[in-house]
């Protein structure tokens, strides 16, 4: 039933269209053309205006002919950089790039899988319930498409984001995340002639960072500083440094506690300097804390999990629930009341020029989706 050549062709076509975040209009148009034969309605929302993209999220509604709750399927159309001039290669059943860019299997493999699934349902007149397809923009730069999505356009209350590697799991737990940006303001001075009159912002930031616990804090919590940025010259005492990082945790209390410790570390360094040097209003801090996304926790007895496990069992496979350290559109959907499990396509080495995906793995996910939809068409309930 699955047309492997068509699936491969769809993915290759999509991967060949550059679509780094905020430049998704061209691929959105191509996806729309592919979906039009199956969808009764295709919409583009206005998320792009807020996210700074040249298009919005794409929503396709497939009517279905079974009286069951609508099921949502989600993927994202944007890629990370280097993503300009992608030339997909296919050899021995494996897709790669030419080694100078990412491939875009994250997440165009999911889009190809969804399209093949819908084509099979359509051309074989397979009974199924209503389906709502949401292909988002700007996922890779902070889930901006999902965050600015018009949720009034959806009626589904649960579904799947196809956006991870493992084809034998469903991610049911993902962390919440806080993103922080701290500006440390010092005072500039000539580094050789008058260093005593300066306040080195880099030094102060370094003292604060040196007292932090970074990396894996515990089994539920991580912390990272990813950017330390200052401008100037070696003969100038730096008066400003920007520090950017994140905290993630499956426990909201831990998330807030680690975030509080980071802020306190910087505040203590500044307060201590002022006490010892009577320096007036400097040094000082500007602190911005943003909740990047909320956690997800899908119960094992929810239809999203029951459907996936039953579908895998019917196919002679096993799908296990899994906890992830990463975020996805599913976090945003979950926060808005749409219970979303995350399933995989087989993509490997994502966000690198070594990215790859096996056609066999993509086919496995098509089979799983078809089986999920088939079971769903007969009605679902909590076990």
Catalytic residues: 78, 139
Token code pair at residue 134:
């949401």
112-142 as b/e: b if 16+ CB within 10 A: bbbbbbbbbbeeeeeebbbbbbbbbbbbbbb
Cα gap 155→130, rounded to integer Å: 10
Burial (Cβ within 10 Å: 0-12, 13-18, ≥19) of residue 156: buried
Q: How does strand 169-174 pair with strand 296-297?
A: antiparallel
Give the single-character DSSP code of 24. -
End-to-end CA distance of the chain: 31
**HSE-up of 14 (CA within 13 Å, CB side)?**
31
Give the C-alpha distances (Å, rounded to integers) separating 128 from 122, 287, 321, 374, 379: 10, 51, 25, 6, 10
Backbone angles phi, psi at 120, to 5 degrees: -65, -45
């Amino acid at each position: 039933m699955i047309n492997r050549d068509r699936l491969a062709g769809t993915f290759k076509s999509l991967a060949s269209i550059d679509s780094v975040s905020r430049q998704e209009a061209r691929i959105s148009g191509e996806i729309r053309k592919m979906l039009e034969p199956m969808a009764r309605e295709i919409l583009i929302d206005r998320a792009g205006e807020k996210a700074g993209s040249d298009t919005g999220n794409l929503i396709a509604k497939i009517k279905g002919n079974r009286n069951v709750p609508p099921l949502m399927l989600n993927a994202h159309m944007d890629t990370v950089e280097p993503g300009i001039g992608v030339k997909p290669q296919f050899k021995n059943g494996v897709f790669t790039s030419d080694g100078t860019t990412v491939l875009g299997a994250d997440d165009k493999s999911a889009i190809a899988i969804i399209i093949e699934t819908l084509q099979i349902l359509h051309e074989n007149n397979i009974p199924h319930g209503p389906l709502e397809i949401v292909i988002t923009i700007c996922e890779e730069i902070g889930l901006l498409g999902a965050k600015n999505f018009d949720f009034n356009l959806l009626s589904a209350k649960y579904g799947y984001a196809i956006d991870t590697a493992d084809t034998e799991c469903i991610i049911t737990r993902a962390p919440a995340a806080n993103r922080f940006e701290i500006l440390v303001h010092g005072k500039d001075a000539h580094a050789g002639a008058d260093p005593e009159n300066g306040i080195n912002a880099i030094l102060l930031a370094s003292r604060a960072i040196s007292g932090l616990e970074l990396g894996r804090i515990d089994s539920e919590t991580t912390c990272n500083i990813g950017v330390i940025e200052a401008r100037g010259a070696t003969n100038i005492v730096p008066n400003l440094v920007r520090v950017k990082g994140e905290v993630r945790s499956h426990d909201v209390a831990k998330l807030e506690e680690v975030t509080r410790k980071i802020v306190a570390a910087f505040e203590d360094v500044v307060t201590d300097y002022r006490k010892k040097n009577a320096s007036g209003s400097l040094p000082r801090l500007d602190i911005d804390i943003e909740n990047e996304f909320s956690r997800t926790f899908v119960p094992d007895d929810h239809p999203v999990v029951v459907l996936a496990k039953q579908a895998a069992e019917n196919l002679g496979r096993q799908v296990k629930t899994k906890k992830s350290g990463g975020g996805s559109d599913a976090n945003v959907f979950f926060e808005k009341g749409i219970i979303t499990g995350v399933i995989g396509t087989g993509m490997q080495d994502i966000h690198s020029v070594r990215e790859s995906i096996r056609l066999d793995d993509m086919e496995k996910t098509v089979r799983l989706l078809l089986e999920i939809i088939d079971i769903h068409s007969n009605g679902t309930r909590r076990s």
